[in-house]
Structure 1
Amino acid sequence: MKKVNMKLFIYFFIFFLLLTLGLFFVQDLLGARTLKENLIQASKNQISYTDKMLHVGINEANMYGVQYTADPAVRFYQSQIKELGIYDAQMKKVAISNRLDDRLLSSNAVESIAIYWKSSDVFISTSPGRFTKDIFVNVTKRRWQTINDGLYFFSVYPYIHQPKDPKNIQYIVGVKIKTSYLTSLLEESFNESGSKAFFLVNRHSVISDQSVSKAIVEKIKKNARPDPEKVTEFNYQTGDNQYYILTKYIEPIDTFLVTYTRTNEFLNPLKQINQVFSLSIVVILVIGLILIFLFYRNFYQNVHLLRTKFYQVEQGDYSARITDKQNNEFNRLFKGFNYMVIQIQALFASLKVETELRRNAEVKQLQAQINPHFLYNSLFFIMSMAKTSPDAVIKMSKHLAEYYRYMTKKDSQEVTLASELELADHYLSIMSLCKRIDYEINLPPELREHTMMPLIIQPIVENAIQHGIEERQGAHRVSINVQALGSLALITISNDGKGLTPDEIQELVMKVGKAQPPRGKNGVGLWNVNHRLINTFGEESKLNFITNDWGGLSVSFLIDFSLTGGVKHAVANSR
């Protein structure tokens, strides 16, 4: 809790309100889904019950058809009437008809039964006006059929071996299901649930106890699949009304049992409650945001302004001022900040002047350390070679002139990398005239015009000659290599002179890294270069010493060109 600031508190408040809204909407979705699933499950149970009861009626009709197809009185009727007189034959027919009527008295599902003997064209029906002979004309095998929106089951004789040729059929038994039986099943199963149901027979005829949606009927006709193993679900929307539809295919009679429920009636009350709650949350969110805005404007914004100005000062912008006028306690705090920055700016101005003076004195001191001894040796060389080798004198004089022109005119705090290496080239050329010195300087063209501090490379090259090559017999090689590393440059000066042991290298590192320069003249140049690099570019740019493949010493350091500049030097040295 101690780490919670105002911004985190604002974020937490908004997140908490949005989370509450999100959780409520998730609860709403889960509640609506659960309610819908329960309704669907209830409808499935109703479909299952209706399906079972319908199969009872179907099985009953099948049983009657099979029973009278195999009945001996029906089977031998044609052969018997040929031997009987007209009266006895009529009485035989009446007896069969009475048996059919008696059977229907105990049936709730079967409306009528009829038998038709094709060869004798004899027809018996329990409902002569509705179950007529012409219905049997096109019957060719045992099956269910829909005729004039009526549902019929036909059974033919011979029964066991169904005749392939319709001419071999001796008689047909037809059983018609009551339409009222089907509608009573729908009424019993669905009317109390708020759902509507109907039978779609052969994708054509609709049987229902009430009016049904024509659009839903058409959708079932197009989309329903005859799968007797499962109940198929559909979602359907027309206008503002949403429905879920369940269908069950009843294979024996090629009929779909369909039920559909309008979900708006169940979900609208739940949505109204959600809308009231959501409106309440929105009101709370608006009020909370208004309070946060007032707090932000009167407190947090001022704190943020103060923090921004402090950051500007931290980055070196001492002209930062707070000009906002506040009618609260922040006004006094802003005045104190402005006074503090004015004092800091004045302090750094004087520090910068002092730093520049110290830097100039440092450079002049370095020049004084380098120039006298080098000048003496060069003049003695000219004197000794004046009579014997005029060309050597000319070369020496040229390089010496260029060398001292650079030394006397470079009072700027920045030079190019190319000019600094030209100074080293003049120095090594002069030294190669006095003794055997082979040297090479490798500078990538893209780094030539990059700026750096003056007199960084020259002291290291001079140290390589004086303390490396001159102290090892036969040593004569010097290499200066510059390698580009993005915005950095790695500069390495190597020689094949006297190398150093690991302990001596460690001692040298400690010597040039001390806060105070070493006593005497030895090591002052390297100490000066090392501290100038660290003050300007940081600790990672300090001098590194390693033994190279020649057995001599290699000195390397990094220069960050993105940090070069006179202001940077001043700030770095003021730390």
Structure 2
Amino acid sequence: MIKKVNMKRFIYFFVFFLLLTLSLFFVMNSLGSKTIQESLVNSSKNQLAYTESILDGIISEASLYGIQYTADTSVRFYQSKIQEMNNYDAQMKKNDIYDRISAPLLSSQAIESIGIYWKSDGTFIFTGHDSLAKQPFQKVTQRGWQIVNNNLYYFSIYPYIHEPKNPANIQYIVGVKLKKEYLTSLLEKAVSGGESSNAFLLVNKSLMISNKAVDIRIEEKAKETITPNAHEILKFDYHINDDDYYVLSKYIEPIDTYLVTYTRMSDFLNPLNRNKQVFFVSILMILIIGLIVIFMFYRNYYRNVYLLDKKFYQVEQGNYSTRISENPDNQFYSLFKSFNHMVAKIQALFASLKIETELRRNAEVKQLQAQINPHFLYNNLFFIMAVAKTSPEAVMQMSKHLAEYYRYLTKMNSDNVTLASELQLADHFLSIMSLSKKINYEINLPPELGEHLIMPLIIQPMVENAIQHGIEEQQGAYRVTIDVKELDTGALIIVADDGKGLTAEEIHQLMARLENESPPEGSRGIGLWNIHHRLKNAYGELSGLRFFINDWGGLSVLAFIDFSLDEGGQYAIIDS
């Protein structure tokens, strides 16, 4: 990218960017003001809706208490029972009702008092201490919310199922009065606070309760615009002198009241206008300083950075002999010196790594070849000696397979080992074993997989393990199969026997030993550990050995070869 953008174009771009920033700022400032207004309005709507939800809860609570005590059995039969009681029992009954209606006041923050008034004899039980509290009850003619002297009451009448059409048929009235102080504190939750916002309640287009002193002009404007819409929060804007307000109103249908809030916008927009002025001055200073910095940057840094980028690109393309001429007077002298030192180290490292990798691979193959049990050769030579006179045919077969087996091991080149050649080695091994033991074996290889390259000496140790630790440790065991199955990008190799097998716990312990970073002590298990780690290193974590119990009751060993990796892992760096 730095090759395509010269310094002149960069300066043009910088100036264009600043001019574009100035032009876009006007649009952003307008959008910012609009966004702030929308955010404030939405926030105010959320606060108003939250306050409404609390108010609805209070209304529901008061209504519930009114209905509850209207239907209360003690209240319903109070007058009929006290006629049969003496004065003491009648007073105790009255005290019991008083205690019952006083109980909710202990836990409710919104309810100030509850009263019950019997119209027939004027009996009045009241939780408060107001001597004039009975008067609102005497004027009640129907159930519902009423506003008396700027106080909210909920009145419930009996009979309560079928409300009497004639007020004279009302037996008694239950009234619940809300705390005016609580309603006032509730209005504080409808606004964000401060001098810029306020909230109040309008009843019959008259101010009932307010959070604080209300601007009379906004109150009159609100009275003109409010409508009884219980489903939406209505908004209108109002301008007074140099101040802009937005007013929100919500109709509270159960109590026939309007919840109104207003907020002064100028308190929030003035800081934005000040930021606008500061921004213009800042942009001008940035333009001047930026041009000075660009000029100095071009003279002292740009050309050297361009040279360094060019040299890094050459290194990326594989040219490790490239160097930068060092000038002690150059400000980049230390950096260029470090670059030359780094490239020289990388060049030496790659040369050493290639040699070391080749030596490691050769040593690994030699090690695997040396791990082949020498007793295998001795036992087969003794077998030849034992049957030399009685079965010349067996001697010929044993000699042939033994010769092919060791010729493969001694001349094996790890760069051209194929899946077919590895299975041929396993076939020679199994043929040798079947001559001296009762062993039946089967090898299944799809023809299209035979020429794929794999790591050497992967399958033969798996087969040897199946015979030594499976068949030879189980009386009557004699079967071995090698199945190669084609998968999406590779092959699945399964070596199965009908030998001793392992329990689930033993398989778990075996896998734990194979997952160790260091090989197991002694010779037992080191072959499987070696194969397991070679597979994971070359073909990924999924290619390690897996074990499971097969249908014969013996053990099946599974390995996955991913041909797409082309002997990946550490093998991928060879010949690079």
**TM-score, length-scaled by structure 2:** 0.44
Q: Which has the larger radius of gyration?
A: 1
